Amino acid sequence: MENAVKTVSAVLLAAGCSTLHAGDLTVISFGGANKAAQEKAYYAPFTKATGIKVIGGEYNGEMAKVKAMVDTRSVSWDVLEVESPELARGCDEGLFEKLDYSRIGNKADFVPGAAQTCGIGIFVWSTVLAYNADKIKVAPAGWKDFWDVKKYPGKRGLRKGAKYTLEIALMADGVTGEDVYKVLATPAGVDRAFRKLDQLKPHIQWWEAGAQPPQYLVSGDVVMSSAYNGRIATTQKEGKNLKIVWNGGMYDFDSWAIPKGSPNKDAALKFIAFASRPENQKVYSEQIAYGPSSKKATALLDRKVAAELPTSPQNIKNSLAVSVAFWADFGESLEQRFNAWASK
């Protein structure tokens, strides 16, 4: 998931500052509205409950800093928000501690895929079909309708990359969510996805940043687009008539991880356990439209709030869990092929 990028210099200053006390816990996240929600749901309540002060820093997801700290045994970050590909790679490369789930909770209490060896989901976000309801009066039912330019004339927005776009193409071509990665793992399946994209290519307006789909939809540049659900929710709060189709959405996690050699590993685990409690995740999801990783937290939310989250039973039942393992294995070759195709 893209996130608001902040300057790293402030992060390094916060993380390495000599004024930190030994008992302080440094938690690094992606900043913006996400960090503001975390401060309210996790940082301040954790400090109140434990007496451990949380020092909140920000970064833009770069792993080079983490690797450098681990390699030189000069780790100054205790808890880190990471996206799924970086979590998987970092775990394989020994950059993160393995989590002790006896101190966090029952893995079965979390959304499938949230509980990983080196990380636990903070929240669930989705790539969804969004449309401008001022331009489209009959709601599309899913990605098949996304391809129907006769019934729904106008440009379509898609992310300029293989990830998510190839899954969408196969679902538009009738492949069920549970079979998408099986099909995409075969040469014939990849060819099928690109053939489907060929059909829509003249009508596509590509996006590369998460802020672009709502902008394109509001301006009328496109009538439908793939988009991050949180971005659409924010635009809806601003009074714009954008709608989400959850059928065929693809969900993934941002997760907490502990850099290998954290000086405060015990406190870091306490913080992660605290942030994984249903009652605290409830507060987070009330601040920002991302779903809790704890299944029990969804039941605590106001029905109206829960209905607009990726984790709502109604929304997640026809959603596809993004396969980090698939993209780790095939991502490089598929992105190369996609870039060559898109440039033609």
pLDDT in tens, 176-212: 999 999 999 999 999 999 999 999 999 999 999 888 9
Task: Classify residue 333: in a domain, yes or no.
Answer: yes
Handedness of CA 81, 82, 87, 91 (dihedral sign): negative
Q: Identify whether residues 309 and 338 lie together within a single domain.
A: no
Q: Identify whether residues 113 and 202 lie together within a single domain.
A: no
206 φ/ψ angles, rounded to the nearest 5 degrees: -75, 145
Cα-based distances in Å from 103 to 84, 259, 266 = 22, 17, 10
The DSSP result for 275-318, as a single string, is HTSHHHHHHHHHHSS-EESBHHHHHHS-HHHHTTSTTSHHHHTT
> Which percentage of the chain shows pLDDT scores above 70?
94
Q: Identify whether residues 158 and 208 lie together within a single domain.
A: yes
Average pLDDT estimate for 70-97: 94
Q: Mean pLDDT across the chain, nearest whole number? A: 91
Spatial distance between the Cα atoms of 49 and 271, rounded to a whole number of angstroms: 10
With 0.85 as the threshold, say if the pTM is over it. no
pLDDT in tens, 283-316: 999 998 999 999 999 889 999 999 989 988 889 9
Buried b (16+ CB within 10 A) or exposed e, 61-87: bebebbbebbeeeebbbbbbbbbbbbb
* Burial of residue 225, with CB atoms counted within 10 A of its CB: 0-12 exposed, 13-18 middle, 19 or more buried: buried
CB atoms within 10 A of CB 127: 27
In angstroms, what is the C-alpha Rg of the chain?
20
Domain total of the chain: 2
- For 13, the 3-state DSSP assignment is helix
Average pLDDT estimate for 89-112: 95
Q: How far apart are the first and last CA of the chain?
A: 27
Task: Classify residue 2: in a domain, yes or no.
Answer: no
Q: Identify whether residues 238 and 267 lie together within a single domain.
A: no
Spatial distance between the Cα atoms of 247 and 240, rounded to a whole number of angstroms: 21
Predicted pLDDT at 1 = 59
Spatial distance between the Cα atoms of 95 and 269, rounded to a whole number of angstroms: 16
pLDDT in tens, 114-169: 999 999 999 999 999 999 999 998 999 999 999 999 999 999 999 999 999 999 99
The domain spanning residue 129 has which CATH number? 3.40.190.10
Range of the domain at 42: 8-124+252-313
